[in-house]
Structure formats: structure tokens, C-alpha cells
Amino acid sequence: MKFPWLKTYPDEIDWRRSIKALPLFSLLDQAAAKFPEHTAIDFLGKHYSYRELRESVDIAAKNLTRLGVKKGTRVGLLFPNCPQHVISYFAILKAGGVVVNLSPLLAPTELKEQIKLVGIEMVITLNLTVCYGKIANLVGTKPLKKVVIATLPEALPPLKAVLFSFLKKKECVPIPNRADHIRWNELMTDDGSVLTPAKIKPKDDIAVLQFTGGTTGTPKAAMLTHANLYANAVQCKEWCHSLEEGQETIVGVLPLFHVFAMTVIMNLGILLGARMVLHPRFELKRSSKISQTKK
């Protein structure tokens, strides 16, 4: 069979390259092994190395398992761009669960419909009105059994954490003292045990249910396997053949809950061992000042 479009491909791209079918969380394990002390995430001035990121993911995965996440459990992520999103994403996968990306831009009724449609049993989110505030009344009702709630100050440098707590207090929702509400610091408490990642069949097991309205306008949850998404990251790296592992900086302004940013910022970034500079929202002045120092 002939592929006429190949003649327009750059010579450096190998159309026939074979791609291994691996669990998606292998991206992080490989990057942490190659570049343990390189910066993985730069979030408003607070840096997380690849070693720290993998350790946080492993701790969270153990605790998610303890909280009932197992093979096939649907866990929603309701975040702006922040370190907790990345940690939760890979922790869910290592525990065997299925990530369901939810958008903070949706109305409460839309979030309720999506949670019920795919049977989300747990949501991990921030205590912001635009996040937890939209699903608070759903926790404890079928199918949403639990919610894990983080705060932005937990991810910020000390001074910015204090300023956020003081200046943005009205944008936050109090966290109820209930058994079905788990605080982020509980998820990040290490009991010293060794994580045994879930046994994944990359070509069969779903990694992400991604809502998309691309064909009809009515959102549907597209099933993306571990092999799908691992291959997507490798394909992006192949196409962007001039990028160097351990030498790149990627600005994360596009929201990671969208499939494009999930692939070309987070998954490709981690495959490259790149420094991801995450922004919870687009701010032109801040984006223009991002350091291009290579780590």
C-alpha cells in the first residue's frame, strides 16, 4: 500500500517506527530514572524534581488503593493547571484506576451529568468555589462516594502561599469534617510501604475517559488506552525531532484537562524529561517573563 503523504514528511521522521505498548505511567518512571534531579514542574516559583514527582505519585497511588481505587475505578480530576493535577493523574493510573478529566469551566449541572454518565466514584480537586464548590452537594450520592480536596497554597512557595490564603480567601470553600472528604495531606502521607503498581494490559486497559463534543456538540467520553496515550507521546516526540531530552522547557498555559495539553504539554513533556512551567490561568505578563534556563 502506498502512502502519498509520506513524501511531504521531513526526512528525520520514521513513519514505520515501532512503538512499544507500555503502561502510561512508564513515562514518569523512565524520566525519573534518567533525570532524577532535573526540574519536572515549576509552579509559580516552586520547583519539583522528577524524583520528587515520582515519589509523590507513588505515595498517592498507595493511598488511593487504600481508599478503594482499583482496576477500572473511575476517578475525576477537577483542577486548573497545578502540580496536584499531575501527581493525581499518574497516581490514579498506577493504582489501576481510570482518569476522567473534568473542566472547572463547566456548570454544576454539566459536571453532575458527566459524573453520573461514566460512574465517577471519586473526584480529586481544589477547595476553590469554581472546583469543589460545584460538586460539593454530590459527594456521598450515587455514584460519587468520596472526594479528595487539595489547596493551592500546598503547591506554592511559602510567601505566595501566605498571600494566596489571605487575598483569595473568598474564592475558597471550607472543607467539611466528614469521612467521605479526604484532605490532600492525607493522600500524601507515606506509610513506608513499597508500591506495587497495578498490572496493566496497555492495549486493552483504559487509562483516560476524555469528554469531547467534537462530532455532535454533546460531550461523550472517548476511551483512551494506556497504549494509545503512550504512543501519542512518542509520536509527538518523533515529529518534533529536534527536541532534546533533559534540555527543554514547556510552558503549560493550555489546560491539562483538555486532551491536547494533556498530550503535548504533560505526557510529551515528561517523556522528554522537560521542565513544565505550569500556569493555572493565562497571564500575558507572567508568561513573557518565564526563564528559559535549561535544567
At 285 the pLDDT is 63
- What distance in Å separates the CA atoms of residue 17 and residue 84, rounded to the nearest whole number? 34
Prediction pTM value:
0.94
Segment holding 233, helix H or strand E: helix 226-239
Residues 101-106 have a mean pLDDT of: 96
pLDDT classification of 8: cutoffs 50, 70, 90: confident
Q: Is the pLDDT of residue 109 over 50?
A: yes
> Tens digits of per-residue pLDDT, 75-88?
999 999 999 999 99
3-state secondary structure of 64: helix
pLDDT, tens digit (0-9, with 9 covering 90-100), for 263-276: 999 999 999 999 99
In which element (H, E) is residue 212 found? strand 206-212
Average pLDDT, the chain: 93
The string of pLDDT tens digits covering residues 209-262 is 999 976 677 889 999 999 999 999 999 999 988 999 999 999 999 999 999 999
Calculate mean pLDDT across residues 162-169: 92
Task: Report the distance separating Cα 173 and Cα 187, nearest Å.
Answer: 19
Q: Give the fold, CATH level 3, of 19-189+198-288.
A: Rossmann fold (3.40.50)
Domain boundaries, given as residue ranges, for the chain: 19-189+198-288
- How far is 126 from 132, CA to CA, in rounded Å? 6
| Cα(230)–Cα(262) distance, integer angstroms | 12
Give residue 295's pLDDT: 43
pLDDT score of 293: 44
**Which pLDDT tens digit goes with each residue over 38-90?**
999 999 999 999 999 999 999 999 999 999 999 999 999 999 999 999 999 99
Instruction: Report the pLDDT value the prediction gives residue 287, as an integer from 0 to 100.
Output: 52
Please answer whether residues 102 and 114 qualify as being in contact, where contact means their C-beta atoms are separated by less than 8 angstroms. Answer: yes
* DSSP character string of the chain: ---GGGGGS-TT--TT-------TTHHHHHHHHH-TTSEEEEETTEEEEHHHHHHHHHHHHHHHHHTT--TT-EEEEE-SSSHHHHHHHHHHHHTT-EEEEE-TTS-HHHHHHHHHHHT--EEEEESBTTTHHHHGGGTTBTTB-EEEEE-GGGGS-HHHHHHHHHHSGGGB-PPP--TTEEEHHHHT---SPPP------TTTSEEEEEEE-TTTSS-EEEEEEHHHHHHHHHHHHHHSTT--TTS-EEEE-S-TTSHHHIIIIIIHHHHHTPEEEE-SS--HHHHHT------
Give the integer Cα–Cα distance in Å for 133 and 188: 23
Q: In whole angstroms, how far apart are CA 46 and each of 41, 158, 203?
A: 8, 9, 36
Beta strands 275-278 and 181-183 are: unpaired
Q: What is the pLDDT of residue 7?
A: 84
What is the structure's pLDDT at 52?
98
pLDDT higher than threshold 60 for residue 289: no
Proportion of the chain above pLDDT 90, given as a percent:
85
